[in-house]
A = this chain, B = another copy of it.
Amino acid sequence: MIDKICHSIAEAIKDVKDGATILVGGFGTAGMPFHLIDALIDQGAKDLTIVSNNAGNGDTGLAALLKAKRVRKIICSFPRQTDSWVFDGLYRAGEIELEVVPQGNLAERMRAAGAGIGAFFCPTGYGTMLAGNRETREIGGRNYVLEYPIHGDVALIKAHKADRWGNLVYRKTARNFGPVMAAAAKTTIVEVDTVVELGGLDPESVVTPGIYVQRVVEAIQSLAKAA
Contacts and interface: CB of A to CB of B under 8 A. Distances in A.
18 contacts: A108-B115, A108-B117, A117-B122, A118-B120, A118-B121, A118-B122, A118-B123, A118-B137, A118-B144, A119-B139, A119-B144, A120-B121, A139-B148, A169-B204, A172-B203, A204-B205, A204-B207, A205-B205
B120 A120 contact: yes
Interface residues of A, number: 26
A135 to B, nearest CB: 10
Copies in the complex: 2
Contacts of A108: 115, 117
Interface string A137-161: 1011010100010000000000000
A214 to B, nearest CB: 23
A142 B118 contact: yes
Contacts of A204: 169-172, 205, 207
